[in-house]
Amino acid sequence: MTPTAPAIELKGISKSFGPVQANRDISLSVARGTIHGIVGENGAGKSTLMSILYGFYKADRGEIFINGTLTPIPDSQAAIRAGIGMVHQHFKLVENFTVVENVILGAEDGAFLTPSIAKARKTLTQLSEDYGLRVDPDAIIEDLSVGHQQRVEILKQLYRHADILILDEPTGVLTPTEADQLFRILERLRAEGKTIILITHKLREIMDITDTVSVMRRGEMTNTVKTADTSPAELAEMMVGRKVLLQVDKTPAIPGEVVLSVQDLRVRHGGVDRLKGVSFDIRRGEIFGIAGVAGNGQTELLEVLGGMISASGGSVTMFGAPLDISGGGANGQTRRARGIGHVPEDRQTEGLIMPFEAWENVAFGYHKDPKYNAGPLMDHAAMQADCADKMARYDVRPPNPRLPARNFSGGNQQKIVVAREMDRAPDLLLVGQPTRGVDIGAIEFIHKQIIALRDQGKAILLVSVELDEIIGLSDRIAVMFDGRIMGERLPDQTDQNELGLLMAGVTEGAA
Amino acid sequence: MDKMPKWADVILIPLISVVLALVVSGLVVALIGESPWRAMQVMVRGAFGSAYGWGYTLYYATNFIFTGLAVAVAFHARLFNIGGEGQAAIGGLGVAIILLNVAWPHWTIALIAALVFSAAFAAAWAAVPAYLQARRGSHIVITTIMFNYIASALLVYLLVNVFRVDGSMAPESARFAETVHLPGGGDFAGFLGFSATTPLNVSIFLALAACVLVWVLIWRTRLGYEIRSFGHSESAAVYAGISPYRITMITMLISGGLAGMMAINVVMGEAERLVLDFVEGAGFVGIAVALMGRSHPVGVVLAALLFGALYQGGAELQFEMPAISREMVVVIQALVILFTGALDNMVRMPMESLFLSLRRRREDAARKTPAE
C-alpha cells in the first residue's frame, strides 16, 4: 500500500447486459478521506458501476485498484475483504433482531453466539463513540426510526472494517433533519480517514457534502469536478446534456369552487390506523401538495380517494355529492366515471402491467370506455391508434405501441401513465410521487403537464416525498405525520426547515 | 429486451424437454433389459400407426384439451387450479343426472343439456375453493386438491348407494338411452378408417371449439383483459378498479366448467354411463398440458396430442412388451410431465444464455466489420 495512492481507482470499466452497454470505459479515482458524489439520471449506470465495485456484477473489461493495489472483486466477500462496505437504499436488516444481532449477522466468530455478541457490543460502543453514531445495541430494529436503522447499516459496515463506504440514495427515506444528521456522521467518518462514495440524484446534497463529484450519462462518466468549482445548474446540464429548468415556472393560482372536500377521513388498514382524521378542501385551479416522509398515511390517502381501499370513517364529497369510500376497495371504475384521474405512487406495481404492451396499458382502467370496444370485443386497432396518438403528444420514447411497458425507461413509463390519466382532463387528479425514478428531462415535462392541467381549472392533489417538488409545484402545502395533517403552509411563506420540522412531527406549540 | 426469440420459447424449449424426457425414459427401459429403440417404435406405432391407434390418441387428447384449457384459463389469473380431477368427476355427475332422468328425443339436444349440466356442476364444485381463496385467503392449491378427494369419495358413495342398478355388483349407473348416443369417429370420419368401436366421438369438435372460445375470451374480451391484468399484478388490478374477488370467482367458474366438460367425452361419448374413476388422471395431466402449451390454446392442443399419444402408445407398449409393466408406462409419462412442467427452467436458462451470447457475438461482429 502506498500512502499517497487513491483509495479507489477504476480503470476502463465496461459492462453490458445483452445489447445494453450499462458502463462504457469508466475510469475514476477517489482520494482517501474524501466524500465523492456520483450523480446521473436513472439508467445512467451508477448502480451498475457500484455493483461492480461491490462484487455483485463482474465487469466485462477493466481493472479495480484499492489503495494502489490491483484487486479483483469477483464477489461481495472479496469486496468486504478489500474494506468496501455498501449501505443500500433499501436496508438489509432483520426487523425482529436487535441491533447487535444484526451487526454480527454473517460475521459471527463461531457456532455459539454469546461470545460474538459480547465482543460486538464492546466494539459497537467504541464505534459509536468514535463516530458519533449513537444507537442502543439492544434495541429491536423495527422499533427504531428509519434514520437510526440507517445508522445500524453504517455500523454494520464499520464492524466489518470497511474503509470505503458506498451509500446508495441514502436520504430518500429521511426527513431533512435526519438527512442533516446523516451528513454530520459522514463528515465525522471523513475526518477519521474513511472514504465515502455517495450516489444521489439530489443536487443540493452533492453541493452540501461532497468534495468531488462525477457525472454519469448513458453509461459513461462524462465529468469529474471539484464540488467547489461547480453549481447545481451546471451539474444538471452535464447530467442531461442540455440546459434544464430546475425551477418550475408558474403563475399564481386562481382558485375556484371546491372540487373535493375531505372531512375527518380515517383509514384502518392491516390492523393499524393509517389515517387518523384528515380534513381538507381542494378547489378548481389549485395544486394541493402533501409533504411528508413516506409511510405517514399519504399512500392510504391516495388509495382511499382512488377507490382502492375502504375508509373506516369520515366523509368525502366531490362537487358536493358524496363519494363512496366504503365498497371494499373496488371503486376504481366509479372514480374514473366521476372524473377522477389517478397517477399512482408506484407505476411498476400499480400504474402499469409491465408485461403488457404500451397500447394495452394506455387503456388500463379505462378499458370499458366505448372507444376501446366494438360490441363484446375489445377494439385493438382503436386502442393502438389511441396509444400512438398519446405517445406522440406526450413525447413517449420510443413511440412504439407494441413495446411491453417494462422495456421503457422509468421516465417514459411514467409518461405513459401521465398521458392516460391526464389526457381526459379529469376534474380531480390524484398524483403520487410523479417523478420518482424519472430522469430530469421527463421531470420537467411532467411538471409542466401538471401545471397546465391546473391552469385549465382542474383540482390537483399532489403527494410527494421530494420537498423541492412540493414547494415548486404546490399552491398550498399540507404536511402529514403519523396519519394526521400537522399544518398547512403557503409555499412562498415557508422553507425546507419549517416543513422538515412538521414532517418530523414537531408541532407549532413545541417548536 | 426479450432474452430469446419467441419461436425458441414456444417450440424449441418444449421440444428439447420432450427429447430429454424420452432419453431418460430410454435409459430406464434399457435398465430393465429391454430395447429402448423398440419400445419407442411400439409407442409411436401404437399411437399413430393405425386408425385404431389414432382413434384412442385423439380420444385421450380431447380429455386433455378440456382439462388443459381449464388449467390454462386459471393460470392467466395466476390461479393454480389443480382441482380439475374432482371438477371433471362432478361434471360427470351432472351429465349422468340429466341424461338418466330426462327422455331426450335426439342426441343434439341432449348434448346441449349435458354441456350445460357438466359445466354447471363442475363450476359449482370449483366455486367453493374460489370463494375461500377470494374472501378468506385459503390457498386455492390446497383447497382444490382437497376437493379432489371429496369429489372422489362423493362419487363412490353416489355410485354405490344411488346410481347402482338393482341387482348389479358394479359401482356404475344404468346405461344411457340409445337416443343420446353421440356419433363416433366411425360415423363422421369412417372414410378415414375409423371403426364403429373407436372411442373417438363428436366431443373432439367441442374441445376444438372451446379452444377458439378461450382464445377469444383471453385475448379479445374485456373480461380476458381483466383476467390477464389481475394475473400479472393484483395491486395494479385494484388500482384499475378490477375487483380481485370478482375475477377470482369468474375465472374459477370458467376453469371448473371447462374441466367438467371433459365428462362429455368420457361419460356421454364413450362409457355411456357413469363409472367409477372415469377421469383417470386427466385432471392432473391437464396441468402438464397447460404448462407445456404455455397456457395458449394452440399450445394446449399440441401438448394434449402429445399426452394422448403417450397414453395410447403406453397402453400398446405394456401389451406388446410384457416386461414393461403398467407402472413403467406411468414412469415414462411422469418423466415427460417432470421435464416439460417442473424442470422447464433447467432447459430454459442454458438456452437463454446461449441465445444471449449468440446475439452478442453477432453484434460484436457487426460492430467490427465496418471498422475494418
For A319, residues 6+ apart whose C-beta sits below 8 A from its C-beta are: A257, A258, A259, A427
Instruction: Please report the pLDDT score of residue A132 as a whole number.
Output: 79
Q: Report the share of chain B in percent with pLDDT over 70.
A: 98
Number of helices and strands (H, E) in chain A? Answer: 16, 22
Kindly determine whether residue B241 and residue A350, on different chains, have CB atoms separated by under 8 Å: no
**Of the ranges A65-69, A139-143, A206-210, B365-369, which one carries the lowest mean pLDDT score?**
B365-369
Kindly determine whether residue B241 and residue A376, on different chains, have CB atoms separated by under 8 Å: no
Q: Report the share of chain B in percent with pLDDT over 90.
A: 71
Mean pLDDT of B228-248: 95
Q: Which of A309, A364, A413 to mutate to test the interface with B (most CBs of B within 10 A)?
A: A364
Q: Which helix (H) or strand (E) holds A139?
A: none
Task: Give the model confidence (pLDDT) of A472-497 as tens digits.
Answer: 999 999 999 999 999 999 999 988 88
Residue A511: pLDDT band with limits 50, 70, 90: very low
Residue A5: pLDDT band with limits 50, 70, 90: confident
Task: Give the model confidence (pLDDT) of A385-434 as tens digits.
Answer: 999 999 999 999 889 999 999 888 888 999 999 999 999 999 999 999 99
Task: Give the model confidence (pLDDT) of B281-303 as tens digits.
Answer: 999 999 989 988 889 999 999 99
Contacts of A354 in chain B (CB under 8 A): 232-233
Instruction: Please report the pLDDT score of residue A269 as a whole number.
Output: 81
CA–CA separation, A316 and B342 (whole Å): 50
Kindly determine whether residue A349 and residue B240, on different chains, have CB atoms separated by under 8 Å: no
What Rg, from alpha-carbon coordinates, does chain B have? 22
Kindly determine whether residue A350 and residue B239, on different chains, have CB atoms separated by under 8 Å: yes
Instruction: Please report the pLDDT score of residue A246 as a whole number.
Output: 64
Task: Name the average pLDDT for chain A.
Answer: 89
Between residues B361 and A338, which one has the greater pLDDT?
A338
A510 has pLDDT over 60: no
**Of the ranges A194-208, A352-366, B47-61, which one carries the lowest mean pLDDT score?**
A194-208
Kindly tell me the sign of the dihedral angle through the C-alpha atoms of A94, A98, A103, A105: negative
Q: Exposed (0-12), middle (13-18) or buried (19+): which is B68, by Cβ within 10 Å?
A: buried
Tell me the nearest-neighbour CA distance from B235 into chain A, angstroms: 5
Interface check for B364 against chain A (CB to CB < 8 A): the answer is: no
Mean pLDDT of B268-280: 93
Contacts of B221 in chain A (CB under 8 A): 376-378
Between residues A36 and B363, which one has the greater pLDDT?
A36
First to last CA, chain B: 29
Task: Give the model confidence (pLDDT) of B190-216 as tens digits.
Answer: 888 898 889 999 999 999 999 999 999
Task: Give the model confidence (pLDDT) of A159-168 as tens digits.
Answer: 988 999 999 8
ipTM of this complex: 0.85
Comparing CB atoms, the residue among A360, A365, A407 nearest residue B241 is: A365
Q: What is the DSSP string of A162-177?
A: -SEEEEESTTTTS-HH
Comparing CB atoms, the residue among B221, B229, B242 nearest residue A377 is: B221
Q: Are strands A195-199 and A428-432 parallel, antiparallel or unpaired?
A: unpaired
Task: Give the model confidence (pLDDT) of A351-373 as tens digits.
Answer: 999 999 999 999 999 999 999 99
Task: Give the model confidence (pLDDT) of A454-469 as tens digits.
Answer: 999 999 999 998 888 9
Kindly tell me the sign of the dihedral angle through the C-alpha atoms of B169, B171, B177, B183: negative
Tell me the nearest-neighbour CA distance from B310 into chain A, angstroms: 34
Kindly determine whether residue B241 and residue A373, on different chains, have CB atoms separated by under 8 Å: no
Instruction: Please report the pLDDT score of residue B372 as a whole number.
Output: 40
- The CATH label, of 3.40.50, 1.20.5, 3.30.70, 1.10.3470, for the domain at B35-322 is 1.10.3470
Reduced 3-state DSSP string for A461-507: EEECCCHHHHHHHCCEEEEEECCEEEEEECHHHCCHHHHHHHHCCCC
Residue A245: pLDDT band with limits 50, 70, 90: low
Contacts of A336 in chain B (CB under 8 A): 241
For B167, residues 6+ apart whose C-beta sits below 8 A from its C-beta are: none
Interface check for B356 against chain A (CB to CB < 8 A): the answer is: yes
Kindly determine whether residue A351 and residue B236, on different chains, have CB atoms separated by under 8 Å: yes
Instruction: Please report the pLDDT score of residue A329 as a whole number.
Output: 64
Task: Give the model confidence (pLDDT) of B313-339 as tens digits.
Answer: 999 998 898 888 888 888 888 888 888
Q: Report the share of chain A in percent with pLDDT over 70.
A: 97
Instruction: Please report the pLDDT score of residue A255 as a whole number.
Output: 92
Kindly determine whether residue A19 and residue B363, on different chains, have CB atoms separated by under 8 Å: yes
CA–CA separation, A374 and A61 (whole Å): 55
Residue B358: pLDDT band with limits 50, 70, 90: confident
Do the Cβ atoms of A455 and A285 come closer than 8 Å? yes
Residue A294: pLDDT band with limits 50, 70, 90: confident
Mean pLDDT of A215-229: 90
Interface check for B217 against chain A (CB to CB < 8 A): the answer is: no
Q: Which residues on adjacent β-strands are paired with residue A37?
A: A198, A213
Interface check for A326 against chain B (CB to CB < 8 A): the answer is: no
Residue B44: pLDDT band with limits 50, 70, 90: very high
Question: Chains A, B: CB contacts under 8 A, how many?
Answer: 84
Residues 367-386 (A) with a CB less than 8 A from some CB of B: 367-368, 373, 376-378, 380
Kindly determine whether residue B240 and residue A368, on different chains, have CB atoms separated by under 8 Å: no
Tell me the nearest-neighbour CA distance from A306 into chain B, angstroms: 7
Kindly determine whether residue A367 and residue B3, on different chains, have CB atoms separated by under 8 Å: no
Q: Which of B14, B287, B59 is nearest to B186 (CA)?
A: B59
- For chain B, the structural domain boundaries read 35-322
* B237 → chain A, closest CA residue: A350
CA–CA separation, B371 and B365 (whole Å): 10
Kindly determine whether residue A329 and residue B235, on different chains, have CB atoms separated by under 8 Å: no
Instruction: Please report the pLDDT score of residue A237 as a whole number.
Output: 85
Do the Cβ atoms of A352 and A364 come closer than 8 Å? yes
Instruction: Choose from A451-455, B14-18, B34-38, B192-196 the range with maximum mean pLDDT.
Output: A451-455
Running DSSP on this structure, what letter comes out for residue A345? S
Instruction: Please report the pLDDT score of residue A88 as a whole number.
Output: 85
For B81, residues 6+ apart whose C-beta sits below 8 A from its C-beta are: B70, B71, B74, B87, B126, B140, B144, B252, B255, B256, B259
Residue B371: pLDDT band with limits 50, 70, 90: very low
Interface check for B270 against chain A (CB to CB < 8 A): the answer is: no
Residue B149: pLDDT band with limits 50, 70, 90: very high
A1 has pLDDT over 70: no
Task: Give the model confidence (pLDDT) of A106-133 as tens digits.
Answer: 877 777 888 888 888 888 888 888 887 8
Mean pLDDT of B59-83: 97
Kindly determine whether residue B241 and residue A331, on different chains, have CB atoms separated by under 8 Å: yes
For A259, residues 6+ apart whose C-beta sits below 8 A from its C-beta are: A282, A283, A284, A318, A319, A427, A428, A458, A459
Comparing CB atoms, the residue among B1, B241, B363 nearest residue A332 is: B241
Do the Cβ atoms of A360 and B232 come closer than 8 Å? no
Q: Exposed (0-12), middle (13-18) or buried (19+): which is B278, by Cβ within 10 Å?
A: buried
Task: Give the model confidence (pLDDT) of B92-139 as tens digits.
Answer: 999 999 999 999 999 999 999 999 999 999 999 999 999 999 999 999
The cell numbers describing B271, all together, are 362409457
Kindly determine whether residue B220 and residue A377, on different chains, have CB atoms separated by under 8 Å: yes
Mean pLDDT of A63-92: 89
Domains, chain A, with CATH or none:
8-240 (3.40.50.300), 258-503 (3.40.50.300)
